[in-house]
């Protein structure tokens, strides 16, 4: 059975660009994709309504055809991960200003591509990566929705509790789950089995005399069986209430395998396919947390933007597979130099971005210089002349948005390139 043809929407008011990108897609993907071109957001909305679009390539500046960024953001707000993957195309060389307008969460945008640097392999790789990320996020959401329905109505292990949280009855599934012999759970407090349990977790009931079951209170808990085996459980708590009686129920589902799979999917959805580093979206989330922590504790935090010098020449001379090897080698060196609690991501193309908590400008500068010299000395058999990198460093202000620190590091990187590359420059505020 042949694979479904991927439906791609290109929203760009430049006819020449549309022809160029169409030719690139035809060269790299051929019959695997069907390209739908439109020049205005109105046309794009109509295409989305009429066709099942898998991915959108959206021009950042549409001129009179509408605002591409606003349209992409609205598309994500409306459809979320169940809608098409989104890639922004921009001819603006100042990507920091584009990032600033996009906002700190990127509004579901998987990637930003600079038009001047797009080649057929780069476009194919970006589309493949964005599609994979969208499928992972979509699968996670569907699993969560299905699991929630299943958990709400299933009853694997069930325990009946009195007003003090003591077990008065347990079914065989609960006894098997907790590794207890028949009827030996009766009389135990549930907190002896599940330390996180408390009677306060039950939702309070009103005075309605009709026999009802309260809305369930659901918690993920960790505990151990009678034999010492660790469990990850979803614990559902409810109250059966009537005029003459009320009792409490606790039901359990072993989700250890489910949790392991979810953690694996979360890892895949938060990392870059090629280098294994954090991806841009997840880096932003973690970096925002670090800035808030820095603000609370009044500790310095520095940003480091790293760019491989003349990377396009490497790709043109040795091919994209060798370029991929170069990215992996540099990523490995960066990981080895940075501390465990530093954040490191592939920011896009040949750029990497690091956030270093509790590091002032001088500490970051020394770290950057060590990285630069080690990369310069790195031997890569596929690239006889070796590699160099340029680094821009800025101390982030925890009182300012994350995008401000990124912008300053990007300016320092631009200055390092102007000065001849293969050097480390710091943002001084000028």
Is the same domain home to 190 and 110?
no
Q: Which residues sit opposite 223 in a β-bridge? A: 231
| Domain boundary, last residue among 258, 285, 306 | 258
Which of 288, 152, 305, 284 lies closest to 215 in space, CA to CA?
Answer: 152
| Mean pLDDT value of segment 200-220 | 57
pLDDT tens column, 46-75: 988 887 899 999 998 887 767 888 899 899
Q: What pLDDT score does 49 carry?
A: 87
| Domain boundary, last residue among 224, 258, 292 | 258
Q: What pLDDT score does 66 carry?
A: 73
Q: What pLDDT score does 256 carry?
A: 75
**Domain-embedded: residue 242:** yes
Tell me the whole-structure pTM to 2 decimals.
0.54
Q: How many CB atoms lie within 10 A of CB 51?
A: 12
Helix (H) or strand (E) holding 223: strand 217-224
Which of 147, 339, 361, 364 lies closest to 236 in space, CA to CA?
Answer: 147
**Domain-embedded: residue 187:** yes
Is the same domain home to 235 and 302?
no
Distance, in Å, from the CA atom of 253 to the CA atom of 86, rounded to the nearest integer, reads: 37
Q: What pLDDT score does 284 carry?
A: 92
Number of independent structural domains in the chain: 3
pLDDT tens column, 77-135: 888 888 899 999 988 766 565 565 555 555 688 888 888 889 999 999 999 999 898 88
Q: How many CA atoms lie within 13 A of 390 on its CB side?
A: 20
| Mean pLDDT value of segment 223-252 | 82
Please give the share of the chain, as a percent, with pLDDT higher than 90: 50
CB distance 334 to 371 below 8 Å: yes
Is the same domain home to 376 and 281?
yes
pLDDT tens column, 380-430: 999 999 999 999 999 999 889 999 999 999 999 999 999 999 999 999 876
Q: What pLDDT score does 176 carry?
A: 87
Is the same domain home to 89 and 62?
yes
Q: What pLDDT score does 342 carry?
A: 95
Q: What pLDDT score does 207 carry?
A: 42
**Helix count and strand count (H, E) for the chain:** 13, 16
pLDDT tens column, 301-325: 999 999 999 999 999 999 999 999 9
Q: What pLDDT score does 227 carry?
A: 92
**Domain-embedded: residue 143:** no
Which of 262, 250, 223, 231 lies closest to 139 in space, CA to CA?
Answer: 262
Is the same domain home to 281 and 209?
no
CB distance 89 to 60 below 8 Å: yes
pLDDT classification of 214: cutoffs 50, 70, 90: very low
Q: What pLDDT score does 154 carry?
A: 47
Q: Is the pLDDT of residue 175 over 80?
A: yes
Which runs of consecutive H residues, i.e. helices, occur in 168-272?
A: 172-178, 190-193, 256-270
**Domain-embedded: residue 76:** yes
Chain CA centroid to CA 99, Å: 17
**Domain-embedded: residue 264:** no
Is the same domain home to 230 and 328?
no
Q: Which residues sit opposite 58 in a β-bridge? A: 11, 88
CATH at 308: 3.30.70.270
Collect all residues with Cβ–Cβ distance below 8 Å to 419 and sequence separation of at least 6: 425
Residue 282 belongs to what domain range? 274-430
**Domain-embedded: residue 218:** yes
**Domain-embedded: residue 148:** no
| Mean pLDDT value of segment 341-365 | 95
Integer angstrom CA distances of residue 178 from 9, 153, 190, 248, 345? 53, 21, 11, 19, 42
Q: What pLDDT score does 208 carry?
A: 41
CATH at 58: 3.40.50.2300
Q: Which residues sit opposite 8 in a β-bridge? A: 35, 55
CB distance 359 to 304 below 8 Å: no
Q: How many CA atoms lie within 13 A of 108 on its CB side?
A: 25
| Mean pLDDT value of segment 347-363 | 94
Is the same domain home to 82 and 166?
no
| Domain boundary, last residue among 258, 290, 322 | 258
Between 382 and 220, the more confident residue is 382
Is the same domain home to 231 and 345?
no
- Supply the DSSP string of 347-396, one letter for each residue: EETTEEEEEEET--HHHHHHHHHHHHHHHHH--BTTBTT---EEEEEEEE
Is the same domain home to 209 and 347?
no
Distance, in Å, from the CA atom of 429 to the CA atom of 214, rounded to the nearest integer, reads: 59
Is the same domain home to 293 and 362?
yes
**Domain-embedded: residue 116:** yes
Q: What pLDDT score does 212 carry?
A: 40
Is the same domain home to 244 and 305?
no
Q: What pLDDT score does 396 carry?
A: 93
Is the same domain home to 109 and 251?
no
Distance, in Å, from the CA atom of 150 to the CA atom of 148, rounded to the nearest integer, reads: 5
CATH at 202: 3.30.450.20
Q: Is the pLDDT of residue 17 over 80?
A: yes
E strands, 15-126, where?
33-38, 55-59, 85-90, 109-114
Token pair in block for residue 89: 């195309």
Q: Is the pLDDT of residue 2 over 60?
A: no
pLDDT tens column, 139-174: 888 877 764 454 344 467 888 888 889 998 888 888
């Amino acid at each position: 059975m042949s694979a479904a043809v991927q439906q791609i929407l290109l929203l760009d008011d430049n006819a020449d660009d549309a022809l160029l990108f169409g030719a690139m897609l035809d060269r790299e993907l051929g019959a695997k994709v069907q390209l739908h071109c439109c020049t205005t957001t109105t046309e794009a909305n109509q295409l989305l309504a009429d066709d099942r679009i898998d991915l959108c390539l959206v021009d950042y500046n549409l001129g009179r055809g509408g605002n591409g960024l606003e349209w992409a953001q609205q598309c994500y707000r409306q459809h979320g991960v169940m809608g098409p993957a989104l890639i922004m195309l921009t001819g603006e060389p100042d990507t920091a200003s584009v990032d600033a307008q996009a906002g700190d969460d990127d509004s579901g945008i998987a990637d930003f591509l600079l038009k001047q640097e797009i080649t057929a392999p780069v476009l194919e790789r970006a589309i493949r990566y964005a599609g994979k990320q969208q499928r992972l996020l979509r699968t996670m959401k569907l699993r969560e929705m299905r699991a929630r329905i299943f958990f709400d109505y299933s009853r694997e292990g069930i325990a009946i509790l009195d007003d003090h949280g003591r077990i008065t009855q347990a079914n065989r599934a609960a006894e098997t789950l907790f590794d207890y012999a028949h009827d030996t759970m009766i009389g135990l407090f549930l907190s002896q089995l599940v330390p996180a349990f408390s009677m306060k977790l039950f939702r309070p009931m009103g005075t309605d005399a009709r026999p009802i079951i309260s809305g369930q209170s659901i918690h993920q808990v960790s505990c151990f069986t009678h034999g010492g085996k660790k469990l990850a459980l979803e614990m559902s708590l409810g109250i059966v209430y009537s005029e003459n009686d009320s009792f409490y129920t606790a039901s359990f589902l072993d989700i250890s395998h489910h949790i392991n799979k979810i953690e694996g999917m979360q890892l895949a959805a938060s990392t870059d396919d090629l280098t294994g580093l954090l991806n841009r979206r997840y880096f932003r989330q973690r970096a925002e947390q670090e800035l808030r922590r820095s603000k609370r504790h009044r500790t310095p935090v520095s940003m480091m933007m790293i760019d491989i010098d003349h990377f396009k020449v490497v790709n043109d001379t040795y091919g994209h597979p060798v370029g991929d090897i170069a990215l992996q080698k540099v990523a490995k060196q960066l990981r080895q130099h940075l501390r465990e609690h530093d954040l490191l991501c592939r920011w896009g193309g040949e750029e990497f971005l690091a956030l270093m908590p509790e590091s002032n400008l001088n500490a970051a500068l020394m770290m950057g210089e060590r990285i630069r010299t080690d990369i310069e000395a790195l031997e890569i058999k596929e690239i006889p002349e070796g590699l160099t990198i340029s680094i821009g460093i800025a101390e982030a202000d925890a009182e300012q948005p994350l995008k401000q620190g990124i912008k300053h590091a990007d300016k320092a990187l631009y200055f390092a390139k102007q000065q001849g590359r293969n050097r480390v420059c710091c943002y001084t505020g000028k």
